[in-house]
Amino acid sequence: AKAAGRNAIHFFDPSIHAAIEARFRLEAEFRAALDNNELVLFYQAQVNRRGEPCGAEALIRWQHPARGLLGPAAFINMAEETGLIAPMGDTVLRTACHQLSLWGEQAEADTLSLAVNISARQFHQPDFVNRILTIVDETGANPRLLKLELTESLILTDLDDSVTKMRALRAAGIRFAMDDFGTGYSSLAYLSRLPFDEVKIDQAFIRQAQLDTEGADRSIVEAIIGLTHSLGMRVVAEGVETPVQREFLLSRRCDVFQGYLFSHPEPVTAFEQTLEALRKA
Ligand code: C2E
Ligand code: CA
Ligand code: CA
Ligand code: CA
């Protein structure tokens, strides 16, 4: 009886109990957030080699009624595990395409591309292609300015399905970026067979890299840029935080730059001011 009692105590470990409760609460609150428009997009500028803004990445935030502004780290895993990532993804795409169509009417912003992160579960939905095309159509966004960011692990979940869907969306003008390149299996063999327009070097290689001295970090970045260019794709470096990193990447012919050095992710009004400031700089 004593042993059973111990087990019982172990089973009702209050900290585990609290964690389970918190998780259920988070899920319930996230369902409500989807209905109550608490999910917002922040925008981070991307600049070309001359430092002029050429695009943006949309990054999700949750304006939680009690806890304040939450980043994706607080809820993305839960959304993936519960499948709520699919309705979340629809909301993100609709908001991003609506924003693209608004920018399309402003002379200062009508050439900006907008990159949207796509999750595996969302992408591998059977009707993903039609969902996107419907959203583009309904919002009046220019499909040529919409870029979908896919990760290697997403592609590798189902390579054939990925290529089929990418081709169908490309036929409508939509473009693709390979996100977080260099962190996964990064096979050159399949990259060459996939219809990507650009490759984003993962920020781990840029941020912590000792790019100011000769060494392995420099070589990896150089190799990724060389490979990507040889496949006819553009290179985007993300996580660019210092002028030293920018200079190194410029010297190695990186095409597009994204990071705190140029802009933090911001709500749309602040982002539009950042665009103006970057144009004047
Ligand atoms: P990611 O796609 O690799 O996005 C880049 C992350 O790096 C963003 O974090 C951004 O705020 C951050 N970042 C940008 N520049 C710098 C820099 O110079 N230094 C540092 N330290 N960080 C920088 P965030 O917004 O917290 O997003 C984290 C991840 O959540 C994203 O990584 C992406 O995988 C996911 N995510 C964000 N928004 C969405 C979305 O709408 N849908 C989906 N499915 N995933 C999203
Ligand atoms: Ca991304
Ligand atoms: Ca990334
Ligand atoms: Ca990432």
How is residue 97 written in tokens?
């395409």
Summarize the confidence of residues 266-280 as an average pLDDT: 96
Going by C-alpha positions, the residue among 187, 122, 176 that lies closest to residue 149 is 176
- The pLDDT, as a whole number, for residue 178 is 95
Q: Is-contact 253 242, C-beta < 8 A?
A: no
CA 279 to chain centre: 24
- Asked if the ipTM is above 0.95, the reply is yes
Residues 6+ apart with CB under 8 A from 195: 163, 166, 167, 170, 176
Residues 6+ apart with CB under 8 A from 131: 90, 93, 125
249, pLDDT greater than 90: yes
Residues in the chain: 281
Kindly identify the ligand whose nearest atom is closest to the C-alpha of 72.
Answer: 1
pLDDT digits (tens, 9 = 90+) for 78-121: 999 999 999 999 999 999 999 999 999 988 888 999 999 999 99
**Quick check: CB of 117 below 6 Å from ligand 1?**
yes
Kindly identify the ligand whose nearest atom is closest to the C-alpha of 118.
Answer: 1
Backbone angles phi, psi at 141, to 5 degrees: -70, 150
Under the banding of pLDDT at 50, 70 and 90, the label for residue 28 is very high
**Quick check: CB of 255 below 6 Å from ligand 1?**
no
Shortest-distance Cα residue to atom 10 of ligand 1: 265
Summarize the confidence of residues 273-280 as an average pLDDT: 94
Q: Is-contact 45 258, C-beta < 8 A?
A: yes
Task: Determine the Cα–Cα distance for residues 56 and 236; give it in Å rounded to an integer.
Answer: 12
- The pLDDT, as a whole number, for residue 192 is 86
- The pLDDT, as a whole number, for residue 140 is 97
- The pLDDT, as a whole number, for residue 214 is 67
pLDDT digits (tens, 9 = 90+) for 115-165: 999 999 999 999 999 999 999 999 999 999 999 999 998 998 899 999 999
49, pLDDT greater than 80: yes
**Quick check: CB of 259 below 6 Å from ligand 1?**
yes
Summarize the confidence of residues 33-43 as an average pLDDT: 97
Under the banding of pLDDT at 50, 70 and 90, the label for residue 1 is very low
Summarize the confidence of residues 29-46 as an average pLDDT: 97
Task: Determine the Cα–Cα distance for residues 177 and 147; give it in Å rounded to an integer.
Answer: 7
Q: Residue 277 corresponds to which amino acid? A: A
pLDDT digits (tens, 9 = 90+) for 173-227: 999 999 998 877 666 777 888 999 999 999 988 876 666 666 677 888 999 999 9
Least confident of 45-49, 159-163, 190-194, 264-268: 190-194
230, pLDDT greater than 70: yes
Shortest-distance Cα residue to atom 11 of ligand 1: 265
- The pLDDT, as a whole number, for residue 9 is 54
